[in-house]
Amino acid sequence: MSFNTLLRHFREGSKNVFRNGWMSVASVTSIVVSLFILGVFILLVLNVNAFADDADSMVQIKTYLNSNVDDSMRQKLHNDIAAMEEVSKVTFISKAEGLKDFREQLGEEGKDLLEGYDENTNPIPDTLQVEVVEPTTVPFVASKIEQLNTKYPDEPIYKVRYGQGTTEKLFKITRAVRNIGFAFVAGLGLMAMFLISNTIRVTILARRREIGIMKLVGATNMFIRWPFFVEGALIGLIGSVITVGVLFFGYNQLAISVKEDITLAFHLVSLDEVGFQIGVLLIGLGLLIGIWGSTVSIRRFLKV
């Protein structure tokens, strides 16, 4: 195909976008609405995943030690736990540190509850805080730590806690949210493709007479298709660029509001991290939907 022919197809496709007026507006609007909803749910899934990952990473195993455990025994336990392949980090928290942390957690409102406790009356035991490589292995690792009591005659471990029950529910919820989110995004993507296809099909139906005449005078199928490819691509490009602009502007405003609200314990995923990928995805999808819709819609009329 020569450059002049390609330029002719581009001019014709561009003219078609403006020539069809409200039909083109309807197509662009359909793309904007569909891709905007898709973009919102992509960002929603990314933020839910980030929140779920943060929640997973906060799950820790607390290994409380008996009061008769000396430094030598504690170090042996520390080494045994750290040697487990599922464990990433083991931190010793002394009784004094534990009491201090507990006071900070309770704040001023719970200050009276701990009044009178000192080094001698501190009820909080020495603790080995265990972090794991994969959060879903927490119950398994906790069980392995409990079994260490059988290794030593004095049973140095008092209790092992990791939020039993709550942790399993958290993992189930985060998995469900991820799966539902991805399924929903995939469904919206398919819905957008069919919606745009039908919109462009209406445009082509309005011009079926023109297509028939072109076939009668000897135009090839590809010659007829190219302007529609260009038209679909331009509609998809315009719609997706508008979508990206509106979506990113709105998301940035929301991120600023969330960041300024000190009562919220989380922040939204930054567009610096995912903006380029989402922008490329939406623009590419807009182009693909436009071209695909044109291809599917015009195929039946090339038999005229």
Query: Is the overall model pTM greater than 0.85, yes or no?
Result: no
* pLDDT score for 246: 93
Strand partners, 92: 128
For 149-176, how does the pLDDT look when each residue is reduced to its tens digit (9 = 90+)? 888 877 888 888 876 566 566 667 767 7
Please name the helix (run of DSSP H) or strand (run of DSSP E) that holds residue 168, with its range, or none: helix 166-205
Residue 204 · residue 297 · CB < 8 Å: yes
pLDDT < 70 regions, the chain: 1-6, 8-10, 12-21, 52-58, 102, 105-121, 163-171, 174, 177-178, 181, 185, 188-189, 192-193, 195-204, 206-207, 260-266, 297-304
pLDDT at 110: 54
* pLDDT reported for residue 167: 55
> Given strand 127-132, what is the order of strands in its sheet?
87-93, 127-132, 61-65, 157-161
Beta bridge pairs of residue 129: 62, 91
Q: Are 285 and 35 in contact (CB under 8 A)?
A: yes
User: 88: helix, coil or strand?
Assistant: strand
Q: Any idea which residue has 């392949």 for tokens? A: 85
User: What pLDDT does 46 receive?
Assistant: 81
pLDDT score of 261? 59
Multiple choice CATH, 60-162, 3.30.1330.90, 3.40.50.2300, 3.30.70.3040, 3.40.50.1100: 3.30.70.3040
Q: What are phi and psi of 66, to 5 degrees?
A: -70, 155
Please tell me the predicted confidence (pLDDT) of residue 41: 80
Sorted by where each begins, the domain ranges of the chain are 3-55+168-302, 60-162
Contact 282, 238 (CB under 8 A): no
At residue 187, the pLDDT reads 73
